[in-house]
Structure 1
Amino acid sequence: MTPRTTLVETLARLSKERGRALERRTFMMQHRALGVDAVENVDAQLRTIDARMKTVKQQLEKH
């Protein structure tokens, strides 16, 4: 497997992970009884995923 293929697969996995996190956030916003902390936790996860995706995209540009 080439480094580029690995990066593309990583980007695809992160994209799926981000989609699931957005679904969780939407669910939590609809059910506010879960609390603000839960939403903030998912927001933090989304920021982390976005940062990782940005890094992978930059690496892809180099290949």
Structure 2
Amino acid sequence: TVMMKEKCELETANRDKCKAVHLLKKQMDSLQYHIQILKKSKEEQAAELIRLKEMKMSTRFSQRKML
């Protein structure tokens, strides 16, 4: 019947929407995971830069003491 056909079409459409939503959620989770990795990498680079600047300053200080 027409109603059963419409119901079937709606169920198919809903299934497709659910699949699309599930896929989007997976993509969002993946993006959030990669953002966390990038943040951690950036923090590590910042810490390394600070450490290198401190080493440079202490080297300059040591060189001045020798003069």
Normalized against structure 2, the TM-score is what? 0.46
- Which structure is richer in relative contact order (CA contacts within 8 A, separation 6 or more)? 1
TM-score (norm 1): 0.49
Structure with the bigger percentage of helix: 2
